[in-house]
Amino acid sequence: MNYELNITFFKIATLTYLFAMVFYLGYLAFRSQAVGKIASGITYLGFLCHTASIGTRWWESYQIGAGMGHVPITNLFESMSLGAWTIVLIYIIVEWRYKNRTFGAFVMPVAFLAMTYIFVAPDVSKDIEPLVPALKSYWLYIHVLTSFLGYAAFAVSFGVSLMYLIINTVRKDSLYGFWTACLGALTVIVLAIVADWATLPDIQGKHMLEATFRNPSVGVQVLSWAVYAVILFLMYVFGIKLKSALGKFQTSSDMLDEVGYKTIAMGFPLLTVGIITGAVWANKAWGTYWGWDPKETWSLITWFVYAAYLHARLTRGWSGGRAAVLSVFGFFSVIFTYLGVNLLLSGLHSYGSTGGQIDKTAIPFLLIFAAFFAVYVGVCWVIDSSSRKSAGNQAVSEK
Amino acid sequence: MAEQKDTGTKTPVDRPQAAKTARGPFKSVWNVFSSLKLTVVLLIILALVSIIGTIVAQDDPMKNMDMLVNMFGQAKAPEVLKLMVAMGLTNMYHSWWFVFLLMMLSLNIAVCTIERLPRVIHMVMKKQEPLTDATIRNMALRKEMKIKGDMDTVAGKAAAAMKAMGYSPNEYRAEGEIQYFAEKGKFSRLGVYIAHISVLIIFAGALIGSFWGYKGYAQITEGHTIDSIGLTGKPLLLHVGPEMPLPFQVRCDKFQLKLYQGTDMPSAYLSTLTVIDNGNNVLTKTIRVNDPLEYKGIRFFQSSYGIAPQEASMTIRAIAKGPVFSVHDYTLKRGEKTTLEGSNITMTVSDFSPDVVIGPNNQLMGRSDKYRGSAAAILDFSAGGKPVEQAIILNQDPSSQPKNVPFTFSITGYNGPYYTGLQVTHDPGVDIVWLGCTMLVLGILIAFFLFHKRVWVRVVRSSEKGQLVLTAAGSINKNRSVFEGEFKRFLEKLETRHEKS
């Protein structure tokens, strides 16, 4: 007998999130309350299916027998599913609390992307696996749950901060460069994952993004980088349209700034508890509460970034754009802590890892990818400051 | 901390006033460390340099060499590795410069705390003052109403409204004036400092652990007893050799490997250990991963297992080539001999290994101590006391057979008592670290989610006869938007009480 009810629910939830995303985008485009309500309704439905997926997976693990039953949070597939679930949960709370549906278009794609990625990713098993002896501890549940709620709060802060940056765009300056680069990079990654998906039959045993950026063929690689450059250019040209579409909602930027801060104020204690419970557990399992394992180190790096955010904000008066940029960087660090460490580095949190070795082509790829991002933001800044200078000169010469 | 708005933004309080006027070299160093700009810079530097240690393998020269040969080629790699070692990159989190950064952060926290805590304690200890005409103007939240009536009744109703909101009001009376005022959660102002001091406590606990704590490793075969361990992490302040004697003995009574029913996946590793102190069995416990044994501050963790190599035996199957077909299994330890059934040939097992692979130059290499069908054995054959032949039997290679012996050999088993591999640690600082962690979480929760709220109601006689002026005021140290709602509800309560009369 196959225990696959949970996978069916998972598929339905993923599809529902896709529809929710489309309706939220439609809500942004047409500003129709009815469309917004449908989007929320679909989100609730998807969340229910997702909850059912996790619940049935839990139940099914006990049906297998042989002492295999456990809460489904112990391999990469299960943890990613839980991650998307917590993001949607926190999003629903924020939507309800602030009576605002415009964030949906930014948060739902993250949930949809997480679910799709984990469903199609190579080398990720979707089977219910028995717990290895090291994971048999009640600390597992406390550690994973607090860490994930923290990650989810940071994810919502990320979405809201991006929106803050978009709405507060006045000129095509470096901040404009920053948010269009973020959206551009996200778009490129989505397309690359879709390309991986399109070549699904022979994807087994390959790296992520092997269909594009990390293709054995140099021509495909060059083409991929060219597409990345083109997408950044398109973002530069059309980003301003997105800004005016969003601007029509007259969402208060003070409110966005506040939600961006409050979600971090929620996530930071959760991350702290997540790190500490991890240390307590490590001390119980290996007798060392801190071993500078890559996962531990990256969680500390994330903690440092958000601690810097809180200090800059609470005592140095950083708010608005600068705080939003820091929040976005914080979330990059979260993503790397959660996924990058498992997929690229080796260490003790080896669930879903690609083996004990550092994935050699991944690091150059990441560096070049980040370099594109940085060069693009730099170019935006140069264009903006030189155009302002010439505008100033013109004004002077006209006088 | 001083007043903060609900969004967490506020006017910078980076440098307290007292420090600005200070002079002299000590004072200028002090000023650097009392700066919150330094905190933000240090946090970001720490975040960035920590990344290096997650890419460069720590304490693993082989892995780093592999990576460097890939990047720089065979010739330059040793040079680069030497440079990396000199810079402390291969043991980064214990390098002098990383420890220096952590010390800077600790100093920064300590100085900031010393600078600001006395003022905050003063603020917390200070009794709430009644409002005066001067202070009333500074109140962010205030409302004035004109009311007719008796002064005591009006003020009494205000006090009742305060009580209804969960405050316990103090009374102040002066000529033509009554005030009620109350505050809640003033100790929440200390939350920030609890959080910061806790970081110092965690560092202190970690230091104590590295000064006097140690890590080690022990392998105990079932039925055997140990009284010392091999050290992998030495205490910084104690002189010890690579072997460290234990103040007691530990015996392994039994090791068990449990599998999930019907699979070959392990579900538990169990070691039954007995502590022998002064010749007495004082403690027996079955440990498993996540459930260690602790005695006299020394803890034993389940870490690995295997068949004890010295006492292991191998089962060798001999199949007679003819004329009579026969199969016999012989289970022998190293050095043991037996006569092969149906012949006068003596077989001696001179050595064996449970897991052997054939290396790049055709040499045999032991891979692990787990039996998984790739075993090897060296067999010596003799007849009538005269050596006949030596043969190496490889399970993966059926052609590895003796030529002058009429039997075909294969290895069918590897048995013996188990040993259990234990991680041993002693860390006298760990409880201090947990104290710091608890304080950190409490401090952060208090700092973010509890507030110092104050309310006042002042009733004064107006210049118009029989007319009273009631002023309600409130303040909060942060999160004003929440308090605004509470203050509005308070005003509504005040108004309805007066309307009723």
B295, B425: one domain: yes
pLDDT at A199 over 60: yes
Tell me, yes or no, whether B324 and B397 share the same domain: yes
The strand ranges marked E within A204-306 are: none
Q: Do B283 and B427 share a domain, yes or no?
A: yes
Task: Render pLDDT for A144-156 as a digit per residue (tens, 0 to 9).
Answer: 989 999 998 998 8
- Is residue B426 located within the same domain as residue B295? yes
B98 and B24 in a common domain: yes
A52-61 long-range contacts (CB < 8 A, ≥24 apart) are A52/A9, A53/A6, A53/A7, A53/A9, A53/A10, A53/A13, A53/A81, A54/A6, A54/A81, A54/A82, A54/A85, A56/A5, A56/A6, A56/A9, A57/A6, A57/A128, A60/A3, A60/A5, A60/A6, A60/A128, A61/A3, A61/A128
Q: Which residue has the tokens 């917590």?
A: A86
Percent of chain B topping pLDDT 90: 27
pLDDT > 90: what percent of chain A? 28
E-assigned strands of A289-397?
Answer: none
- The residue among A75, A264, A304 with the most chain B CBs within 10 A of its CB, best to mutate, is A304
Domain coverage including residue B51: 17-125
Q: Which residues, in sequence order, are CB contacts of B168 under 8 Å at separation 6+?
A: B162, B182
Angle, vertex CA B290, rays to CA B286 and CA B296, nearest 5: 65
Work out the average pLDDT over B143-167.
Answer: 87
Q: How far apart are CA B425 and CA B423, in angstroms?
A: 7
> In Å, how far from its chain's centre is CA B278?
34
Residue A399 lies in a domain: no
Picking from A261, A300, A308, the nearest residue to B8 by CB comes out as A261
Whether residues B460 and B381 fall in one domain: no
Secondary-structure percent of chain B, ordered helix, strand, coil, rounded to 5: 35, 35, 30
- Contact A130/B53, CB-based, under 8 Å? no
Structural domain count of chain A:
1
Q: Which among A330, A271, A384, A39 is positioned nearest to B444, based on CA atoms? A: A271
Q: Give the mean pLDDT of B22-28.
A: 77
| Average pLDDT score, chain B | 84
pLDDT in tens, B463-494: 777 788 888 999 888 777 778 888 888 888 88
Domain span holding position A273: 5-385
As a whole number of angstroms, the distance between CA B273 and CA B300 comes to 9
Are B457 and B410 found together in one domain? no
Question: Which residues in A lie closer than 8 A to residue B6 (C-beta atoms)?
Answer: 258
* ipTM reported for the complex, 2 dp: 0.84
Partners of B67 on chain A (C-beta within 8 Å) are 358, 360
The reply to whether residue B260 touches residue A68, judged by beta carbons under 8 angstroms, is yes
> What pLDDT, on a 0 to 100 scale, did the predictor assign at position A289?
92
Cα–Cα distances (Å) from A151 to A110, A157, B315, in that order, read 12, 10, 54
Model pLDDT for residues A15-53, shown as the tens digit of each residue: 999 999 899 988 888 888 899 999 999 999 999 999 999
What's the confidence (pLDDT) of residue B9? Answer: 43
Rounded to an integer, the average pLDDT of B272-287 is 92
Q: Indicate yes or no: CB of B425 within 8 angstroms of CB of A288.
A: yes
The answer as to whether B3 is a domain residue is: no
Task: Give the model's pLDDT for residue A51.
Answer: 95
Give the closest of A130, A133, A315 to B14, CB-based: A315
Q: Does A138 touch chain B (CB under 8 A)?
A: no
- pLDDT value at residue A345: 64
Residue whose C-alpha is closest to residue A212's, from A194, A200, A230 = A194
Q: Residue B500 has what pLDDT?
A: 56
Q: Would B1 be classed as within a structural domain?
A: no
Contacts of A325 in chain B (CB under 8 A): none
pLDDT at site A53: 93
B449 token code pair:
């989610």
- C-alpha A215/C-alpha A196 separation (Å) is 10
**Same domain, yes or no: B397 and B411:** yes
* Structural domain count, chain B: 4
Does a structural domain hold residue B360?
A: yes
Structure tokens at B73: 């080629």
Residues A169-183: tens digit of each pLDDT: 887 888 888 999 998
Please report the beta strands in chain A, taking only residues with DSSP state E, as ranges in sequence order.
Answer: none
pLDDT at B193 over 90: yes
Three-state SS at B376: strand
Q: If pLDDT is split at 50, 70 and 90, which confidence band does B4 have?
A: very low
Residue A3 has pLDDT above 80, yes or no: no
Is A163 in contact with A246 (CB distance < 8 Å)? yes
- Do B170 and B108 lie in a common domain? no
Same domain, B437 and B457: no
DSSP letter (8 states) at residue B489: H
Residue B108 scores a pLDDT above 50 = yes
- Cβ contact, residue pair B444, A272, below 8 Å: yes
Instruction: Judge if B290 and B316 occupy the same domain.
Output: no
Answer with the residue of higher pLDDT: A67 or A172. Answer: A172
Query: What is the per-residue pLDDT for A399?
Result: 54
Segment B245-256, tens digit of pLDDT: 999 999 999 998
User: Is B397 among the domain residues?
Assistant: yes
Kindly determine whether residue A294 and residue B54, on different chains, have CB atoms separated by under 8 Å: yes
CB contact, 8 Å: A62 with chain B?
Answer: no
CA distance B312 to B467: 103
The token duo for A209 is 């993004």
User: What is the rounded CA–CA span in Å between residue A85 and residue A72?
Assistant: 12
| Cβ neighbours of residue A140 closer than 8 Å, sequence gap 6 or more | A73, A74, A281
What average pLDDT does range A271-278 have in this prediction? 96
- Could you tell me if residue A76 is left (phi over 0), alpha (psi between -120 and 50 degrees) or otherwise beta? alpha
Q: From the list B93, B262, B290, which residue is nearest A136 (CB)?
A: B290
Q: What is the pLDDT of residue B70?
A: 74
Q: Tens of pLDDT along B429-467?
A: 999 999 999 999 999 999 988 989 999 999 988 877 778
**A371 in contact with B at a CB cutoff of 8 Å?**
no
C-alpha B117/C-alpha A89 separation (Å) is 39
The predicted pLDDT at position A267 comes to 94
B65-69, B193-197, B215-219: the lowest-pLDDT one: B65-69
- Is residue A226's pLDDT more than 70? yes
CB contact under 8 A, B268 and A304: no
Segment A332-348, tens digit of pLDDT: 999 888 877 776 665 44
Which residues lie closer than 8 Å to A170 by C-beta, 6 or more apart?
A: none
The answer to whether residue A12 scores a pLDDT higher than 80 is: yes
SS3 B331: strand
Average pLDDT over residues B129-140: 83
What is the rounded average pLDDT of the residues B390-419? 84
Which residue in A has a C-alpha nearest to residue B430's C-alpha? A289
For residue B7, being part of any structural domain is answered with no
Instruction: Indicate if B150 and B247 belong to the same structural domain.
Output: no
| Pairwise CB contact (< 8 Å): B46 & A304 | yes
Please compute the mean of the pLDDT values over residues B209-236 and round it to a whole number: 89
Q: What angle do CA B204, B210, B211 make, to 5 degrees?
A: 85
Q: Looking at per-residue confidence, does A95 or A215 come out higher?
A: A95
Q: Which amino acid is at A396?
A: V
Within a domain: B465: yes
A300 within some domain: yes
Nearest to A284 among B14, B290, B303 (CB): B290
Classify residue A364: in a domain, yes or no. Answer: yes
Whether residue B55 and residue A300 make contact (CB cut-off 8 A), yes or no, is no
Q: Does A69 touch chain B (CB under 8 A)?
A: no
